[in-house]
Amino acid sequence: MKNTFKNLLTIFFLLIGIAAMYVILKNHSLKDIFQMYSNFNAYILILYIIAVVSIMVVLTWRWDLILRSRNIKVPFKKLLIYRIIGTSINFLTPGPRVGGEPTQASLLTKHKVDFTEGLSTIMIDKIIDTTTSGLLFIIGVVLVGLKYTFPRNTELALTLGGVVFLAIVTLFYYRMLTSQHFFLKIFHFFRLDKIKNKFWKKLEKSIEKIELTMIDFYKMNKKAFVVSLLISIFTWVLMFFEYKFATMLLGLDIGAVEIFFIVTFIGLAILFPIPMAVGVLEAGQVSAFALIRLNASAGVALAFLVRMKDIIWALIGLVLLATYGFHVGKVVRKKYGDKNLDIGENG
């Protein structure tokens, strides 16, 4: 029953995305969109690919740093493969790029890493990434706001979103650095711990264990935390070049402020619970390009380019999962249920 409801919800949101895509394509002809690709340059394309691959490598470096701070050593090549697999699953599943994390944690068990410990390092990595991305998003919005005039409602929404985000981030790190739970507190606030069900009881214990590892990292591995933040900022520098080259492929020459703004709208699009961000990615770029007074068709063309990049990563990830992976569901059940279950490793 639970899976049926989840599947119906996914289909519902997917239909919304398809409807949004239909409206966009109805108002922006494919001829105008594909015309933007007439400026493709092989040299710029190579630079774009280098930037994209470099970002994946640097993100893996950050994860490796977090793992090593926990005295966990996994060959970098393997971590890169697991990162690509996680990214692939995140792209294909609905929601804010989540879903691949349990898979990455299960792959770490091949190196005798406890599932929960591995998942904790991935959560730390994810939160650091979200923190820096959110802060840079706010900076980008402020810079664009100083240069362009936003509609009143858009300005209010962005301001409110920025304030709420800063409040959550501040509260999270305050509680972590003072050895207090954050996610477990939310769990208790909604009284989910009062539900007499094995699933919720196990989930509560899992959250508590993961957060204890996170608290230990933030308190005992401050150097690794600071370096991880610096690496995250470096990935944004690389991301600037990625989208600079992407817009150059479309024949556009835009500034750093505009690129930051475009990237933030791409980040917002993936928060919607729609598989592959169908429709919302394009809608976000149409809105972003309109706000900075650029051709909306170019925004759709950029969204298509970003989607193609993600699809290629997803296909590579699925091939790697088939080669190096094993049955993720069985790994999780073995960890929290049947200890004698064969996890069925492939390759």
The pLDDT score that the predictor gives to residue 158 is 78
The pLDDT score that the predictor gives to residue 50 is 97
Helix (H) or strand (E) holding 257: helix 256-269
Phi and psi for 149 in degrees, rounded to 5?
-100, 120
Do 268 and 220 touch, CB atoms closer than 8 A?
no
Q: Is it the case that residue 330 has pLDDT exceeding 60? A: no
Q: Is it the case that residue 10 has pLDDT exceeding 70? A: yes
- The pTM assigned to this predicted structure is 0.84
Distance CA 204, CA 318 (A): 31
Q: Which residues of 83-110 are buried (b: 16+ CB within 10 A; e: fewer)?
A: bbbbbbbbbbebbebebbbbbbbbbbbb
Name beta bridge partners: 326. 345
The pLDDT score that the predictor gives to residue 331 is 44
What lies within 8 Å, CB to CB, of 334 at 6+ separation is: 340, 341, 343
Phi and psi for 77 in degrees, rounded to 5?
-60, -40
The pLDDT score that the predictor gives to residue 340 is 45
Mean pLDDT over 263-282 rounds to 76
Q: Is it the case that residue 96 has pLDDT exceeding 60? A: no
The pLDDT score that the predictor gives to residue 283 is 85
Mean pLDDT over 228-255 rounds to 92
Which of the residue ranges 89-98, 125-134, 141-150, 200-209 would you say has the lowest mean pLDDT? 89-98
Q: Scan for tokens 């929290």, then name that residue.
A: 336
Q: Is 93 helix (H, G, I), strand (E, B) or coil?
A: coil
The pLDDT score that the predictor gives to residue 347 is 41
- 346 — pLDDT class (breaks 50, 70, 90): very low
Instruction: Identify the top-confidence range among 33-42, 53-62, 337-346.
Output: 53-62
Higher pLDDT, 128 or 137: 128
Longest dimension (CA), the chain: 62
Which of the residue ranges 181-195, 291-305, 312-326 would you say has the lowest mean pLDDT? 312-326
The pLDDT score that the predictor gives to residue 5 is 65
Domain-wise residue ranges, the chain:
2-336
pLDDT digits 0-9 by tens, 41-68: 999 999 999 999 999 999 999 999 999 9
Do 86 and 316 touch, CB atoms closer than 8 A?
no
Q: Is it the case that residue 333 has pLDDT exceeding 70? A: no
Extract the tokens encoding 225.
């935390």
The pLDDT score that the predictor gives to residue 171 is 93
- 111 — pLDDT class (breaks 50, 70, 90): very high
What lies within 8 Å, CB to CB, of 219 at 6+ separation is: 176, 177, 179
Instruction: Give CA torsion, residues 16, 22, 28, 29, to 10 deg.
Output: 160
Task: Report CA 204 to chain centroid distance, whole Å.
Answer: 24
